[in-house]
Amino acid sequence: MTKFKAEDLIQYLYKETSVQTTAAIEAALETDWDLLESLELIKSGQQNLETIELSPRDEAVKRILEHTTKNVGQLHSH
Percentage of residues in the chain with pLDDT exceeding 70? Answer: 88
Structural domains of the chain, count = 1
pTM above 0.75, yes or no: no
Quick check: 77 pLDDT over 60?
no
Question: What pLDDT score was predicted for residue 37?
Answer: 97
- Centre a 10 Å sphere on the Cβ of residue 3 and count the other Cβ atoms it contains: 8
Summarised one tens digit per residue, pLDDT across range 34-68 is 999 999 999 999 888 878 888 889 999 899 988 88
In a domain, 20, yes or no: yes
Please count the residues of the chain.
Answer: 78
In a domain, 39, yes or no: yes
Domain that holds residue 51: 6-77
